[in-house]
């Protein structure tokens, strides 16, 4: 049986069952079982569990069967690694070292490009608000003078899940706590009119891509009183059929196809907002769209997992030269 290791960020090896959230656990167990039925054993491990001298993962979790049957295993040498870590400088460094020993999906350079919010704004300049980089509060105060909207967006250059993102009134922005890591500043996008023909209200539209195929799409809307639609920030999700996706986003998808063609396979998402004039704006890209699906999203889950399985099988075939 072939071995694929899904790499996560920090994790407690002593926890009783990963992941702790039952809703998330169902999605993972479904996918791990699907892979196992197709002769692929999936392992779950933290990058912290890698032994750089022996070039093995000292610990990992596997899911063997129904009934909450998660097992601890040791000394794993996977055929390749599927990267699900958070975007952090220290993690990038560790992954680069692990990448000397094992191939990754996505390619590590692709991940660095896609998860860099400033790079995104340059690659998709036709659909991106102008971006500025600030390394501290002093630099931010100078930049604010050039921003025209009454609100500004301040977010860490490399983070995911909405962590560290702030929507600030321009007049109050200079009062925000000082920071010592690079942040990106942009004009605020008023998305209160919603997605044309689909939904009203503040939103972002997420497009999930596997290679050149749009697999599924969803709309995320923030909790009342918030502008942040990420699930981790309390947002809600509504899946939408592909035939409901506004045609105005397809030039963005085509641009992504052209830009990233040299990276295969590639699994990523594009987040878009629509302004009051119904113009789509690229908010950010994500090289690691989530594997969790709510019960309402089961048919989308099955489609995504089938696409991901095909990616795994193709990569294993490339590595071995044999049918999996």
Determine the pLDDT at residue 229: 56
DSSP classification of residue 95: H
Asked if residue 112 is part of any domain, the answer here is no
Domain count, the chain: 3
d(CA 243, CA 304): 17
Asked if residue 280 is part of any domain, the answer here is yes
pTM of the predicted protein model: 0.92
Determine the pLDDT at residue 275: 97
194 Cβ partners below 8 Å, 6+ apart? 200, 201, 202, 203, 274
Structural domain boundaries enclosing 135: 130-187
Determine the pLDDT at residue 236: 84
46 Cβ partners below 8 Å, 6+ apart? 7, 8, 9, 10, 11, 13
* Same domain, residue pair 101 and 137: no
Domain stops at, among 171, 187, 203: 187
Determine the pLDDT at residue 274: 97
* Same domain, residue pair 100 and 167: no
Mind listing the pLDDT tens digit for each residue in 41-84? 999 999 999 999 999 999 999 998 766 689 999 999 999 999 99
Determine the pLDDT at residue 164: 81
Which residues of the chain are under the pLDDT cut of 70?
Answer: 16, 66-68, 161-162, 225-234, 322-324
The answer to whether 176 and 164 have CB atoms below 8 angstroms apart is: no
Determine the pLDDT at residue 272: 97
Q: What's 97's domain CATH number?
A: 3.40.50
Which is nearest to 6 in space by CA: 57, 66, 68? Answer: 57
């Amino acid at each position: 049986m072939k071995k694929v290791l899904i790499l996560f960020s920090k994790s407690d090896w002593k926890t009783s069952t990963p992941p702790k959230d039952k809703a998330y656990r169902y999605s993972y167990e479904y996918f791990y079982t699907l892979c196992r039925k197709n002769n692929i054993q999936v392992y779950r491990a933290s990058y912290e569990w890698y032994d750089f001298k022996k070039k093995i993962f000292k610990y990992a979790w596997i899911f063997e069967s129904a009934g909450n049957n998660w097992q601890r295993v040791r000394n794993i040498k996977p055929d390749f690694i599927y990267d699900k870590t958070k975007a952090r400088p220290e993690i990038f460094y560790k992954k680069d070292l692990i990448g000397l020993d094992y191939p990754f999906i996505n390619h590590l350079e692709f991940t660095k490009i896609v998860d860099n919010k400033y790079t995104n704004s340059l690659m998709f300049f036709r659909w991106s608000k102008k971006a500025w980089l600030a390394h501290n509060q002093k630099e931010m105060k100078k930049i604010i003078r050039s921003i025209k909207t009454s609100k500004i967006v301040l977010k860490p250059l490399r983070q995911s899940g909405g962590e560290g993102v702030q929507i600030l009134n321009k007049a109050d922005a200079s009062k925000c706590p000082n920071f010592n890591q690079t942040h990106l500043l942009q004009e605020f996008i008023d998305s209160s009119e919603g997605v044309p023909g689909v939904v009203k209200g503040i939103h972002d539209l997420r497009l999930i891509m596997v290679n050149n195929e749009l697999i599924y799409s969803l709309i995320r809307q923030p909790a009342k009183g918030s502008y942040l639609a990420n699930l981790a920030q309390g947002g809600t999700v509504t899946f939408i059929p592909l035939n409901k996706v506004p045609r105005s986003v397809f030039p963005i998808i085509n641009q992504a196809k052209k830009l990233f063609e040299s990276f295969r396979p590639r699994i990523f998402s594009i987040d878009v907002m629509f302004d009051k004039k119904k113009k789509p704006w690229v908010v950010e890209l994500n090289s690691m769209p989530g594997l969790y699906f709510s019960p309402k999203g089961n048919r989308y889950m099955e489609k995504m997992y089938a696409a991901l399985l095909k990616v795994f099988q193709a990569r294993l075939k490339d590595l071995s030269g044999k049918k999996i």
